[in-house]
Amino acid sequence: MISGRILIVDDNVSLRESLAAVFLAEGFIVDQAEDGGLAIEKLGQNNYDVVITDIKMPKIGGIDVLKEAKKLNPSTVVVMMTGYGTVESAVEAMKFGAYDYLQKPFSMEEMQLRVVNGLKMRHYEHELTYLRGERNIIYHFDNFIGESPSIKKVFATLKKVSRSNASIMITGETGTGKELVAGAIHYSSQRSKNSFVKVNCAALHDNLLESELFGHEKGAYTGAVKQRIGRFEQAHRGTLFLDEIGDMSLSTQAKVLRVIQEKEFERLGGGRTIKVDVRIISATNKELPLEVQNKAFREDLYFRLNVITIKIPALRERKEDIPLLADYFLKKFAGDLKKSVRLISPGAMSLLKRYQWPGNVRELENCLERAVLMCEGSEIKREELSFMEDMEAVNGDAPAVKIPPSGILLKDMEKSLVVETLKMCNWIQKDAAEMLGISKRVMNYKVKQYNLSNPRWIKNK
């Protein structure tokens, strides 16, 4: 059954009342207005799925009501009613975005049919924008890159849970892809046709966050000049993504718990109870069990949200994924920025692999964007990542070399450094030189100085 909120505008009481009765019986929330002025006032207070309006009314006519409705919400379905002699203006109304018109007298079934068709059409249009939109391209498991064992484990869990309705909590450091995963779960679930609604709980506090989540009635508090539909309502039959849930205040937590348990709530300043069916995915980079221990987070809410946990490991704990991700971002930015960069040199790659990535995948993504932007040729070289030298975590916690207890001669150290680097670069002197930050000539000199040789070099001569 299609339903929603409808506004019926006509100065004829009996017609208005009969229409109202028909749509009430269909399950619509029905409002009425007896003239254009009152209609425009109502349009400002509520969000309407459908408006049925007479064309000819004293002072403000139906065309003005139509224009206002379309201005406030382009997806509202507006059906015009015309009396004798106003068919021409009804045709004109179609130009301003009316969905259809009916000439009086009409049967109630006829009007019902037009409205239902209008709503169906609107639904298809939504679907088309959704399909055309980039949302399902961004939030897709195919775009979640990684082949390390720990990421494979995450994938395995995701596969199992995305089709269920269970609440999911995603944890992980900043930039590990929590939002990407949340979106991908929604768009591969049975709720994918309905909305994926995000709320950042850290960005708003108490009253503002509550009005964001639950909405409010007009006049609920100073500043609430219009009625507002909250995120829970918007996410009906879809998924609500509560990001940074660890930053939610205890009083808001209590209200969210109630929605999860009872599946209902009231708008701020409103008495009507609203029922919702929402799947909740939450994310945090805080240690919630610790917050629970410190009584900063409600234990009961924690267990409700945390039916399934997905922990996304930090990038430095799965360094195997770095080349894969770097290559993915290289292609993405080369395309976006229309550059002909295709490769990452071994020297540059070894720097990427050595770095600790405190900002995780987001930081790697930014780093590649910058490198692609600066790169002149077809390969990203170590020099193009020179800005990374200033980033503190380049050397990580581990020292770059291990000194044997007996000590080591500097020249022996240098020799083994050169040999190890050459091995790593398949004995290609140019690449090894780049990795060590020396010129090709200096590398050639070192090779002679330490009397190094390799079958490869002879073969290539």
Ligand X SMILES: Nc1ncnc2c1ncn2[C@@H]1O[C@H](COP(=O)(O)OP(=O)(O)OP(=O)(O)O)[C@@H](O)[C@H]1O
- Provide CB contacts within 8 A for 356, sequence distance 6+: 316, 393, 394, 396, 397
Q: Which region, judged by CB under 6 A, interacts with ligand X, from 125-133, 158-166, 297-305, 359-367?
A: 359-367
User: Quick check: 180 binds ligand X (CB under 6 A)?
Assistant: yes
4 binds, among Mg ion, ligand X, none (CB under 5 to 8 A by kind): none
290-297 long-range Cβ contacts below 8 angstroms, 24+ apart: 291/246, 296/250, 297/246, 297/250, 297/253
37-44's contacts with Cβ under 8 Å and 24+ in sequence apart are: 38/9, 39/7, 39/9, 39/65, 39/68, 40/64, 40/65, 40/68, 42/7, 43/7, 43/68, 43/69, 43/72, 44/72, 44/226
Looking at beta carbons only, is 36 or 175 nearer to ligand X?
A: 175
Examine residue 363 and tell whether it contacts ligand X (CB under 6 A).
Answer: no
Q: Is 350 in the site for ligand X (CB under 6 A)?
A: no
Is residue 150 within the footprint of ligand X (CB under 6 A)?
A: no
β-strand pairing of 239-243 with 196-200:
parallel
CA distance 441 to 438: 8
Among 28, 99, 101, 144, binds ligand X (CB under 6 A): 144
Q: Does 363 bind Mg ion (CB under 5 A)?
A: no
The minimum distance between CB 128 and ligand X, in angstroms, equals 25
The dihedrals phi and psi of 309, each to the nearest 5 degrees, come to -110, 135
Going by C-alpha positions, the residue among 239, 229, 268 that lies closest to residue 252 is 268
Distance, CA of 331 to CA of 138 (rounded, Å): 15
- How far apart are alpha carbons 142 and 420 in whole angstroms? 37
Asked if residues 259 and 265 have their Cβ atoms less than 8 Å apart, the reply is yes
Q: Which is nearer to ligand X, 172 or 230 (CB)?
A: 172
| Residues binding ligand X: number (CB under 6 A) | 17
Q: Is 247 in the site for Mg ion (CB under 5 A)?
A: no
Among 36, 62, 118, 146, binds ligand X (CB under 6 A): 146
304 near ligand X, rule: CB under 6 A: no
What residue number has its CB nearest to Mg ion?
179
Residue 386 and residue 348 in contact, taking contact as beta carbons nearer than 8 Å: no
399, with CB counted inside 10 A (0-12, 13-18, 19+), is exposed
Q: Tokens representing 290?
A: 């610790």
CA atoms within 13 A on the CB side of 305: 30
Asked if 173 touches Mg ion (CB under 5 A), the answer is no
77-82 vs 50-54, strand pairing mode = parallel
Quote the least distance from Cβ 46 to ligand X, whole Å.
34
What string marks each residue from 47 to 66 as x (binds ligand X by CB under 6 A) or -? --------------------
Q: Does 179 bind Mg ion (CB under 5 A)?
A: yes
Contact segment (CB under 5 A) with Mg ion among 34-42, 177-185, 343-351, 425-433 equals: 177-185
- Of 291, 312, 317, nearest in space to 302 by CA: 291
Stretch that binds ligand X, among 106-114, 175-183, 246-254, 410-418 (CB under 6 A): 175-183
Instruction: Give the Cβ contact number of residue 368 at 10 Å.
Output: 25
Task: Pick the stretch among 57-65, 98-106, 139-147, 398-406 that binds ligand X (CB under 6 A).
Answer: 139-147
**Of residues 4, 62, 172, 230, which one binds ligand X by CB under 6 A?**
172
* Binding of Mg ion by 431 (CB under 5 A): no
In the complex with ligand X, the residue whose CB is nearer, 31 or 179, is: 179
Contacts 24+ apart (CB under 8 A), 135-143: 135/183, 135/187, 135/196, 136/187, 136/192, 138/180, 138/183, 139/180, 139/182, 139/183, 139/184, 139/186, 139/187, 139/196, 140/184, 140/187, 140/188, 141/184, 141/188, 143/180, 143/184
Q: Name the segment binding ligand X (CB under 6 A); options: 77-85, 117-125, 138-146, 188-196.
A: 138-146
To Mg ion, the closest distance from the beta carbon of 135 in angstroms equals: 16
Q: Tokens 């709720």 map to which residue?
A: 191
Residue 285, interface with ligand X (CB under 6 A)?
A: yes
Stretch of 147-155, 173-181, 208-216, 373-381 contacting Mg ion, by CB under 5 A: 173-181
Closest-approach residue to ligand X (CB)? 177
Q: Which is nearer to Mg ion, 203 or 250 (CB)?
A: 203
Nearest distance from residue 358's CB to ligand X, in Å? 11
Q: Is 321 in the site for Mg ion (CB under 5 A)?
A: no
Q: Does 174 bind ligand X (CB under 6 A)?
A: yes
Out of 4, 177, 238, 313, which residue is the one contacting ligand X (CB under 6 A)?
177
Q: By CB under 6 A, tell whether 291 contacts ligand X.
A: no
Of 55-63, 126-134, 172-180, 424-432: span binding Mg ion (CB under 5 A): 172-180
- Closer residue to ligand X, CB minimum distance, 305 or 361: 361
Q: Does 362 bind ligand X (CB under 6 A)?
A: yes
Residues forming contacts to ligand X in the complex (CB under 6 A) are 143-146, 172, 174-180, 285, 325, 361-362, 365
Residues forming contacts to Mg ion in the complex (CB under 5 A) are 179
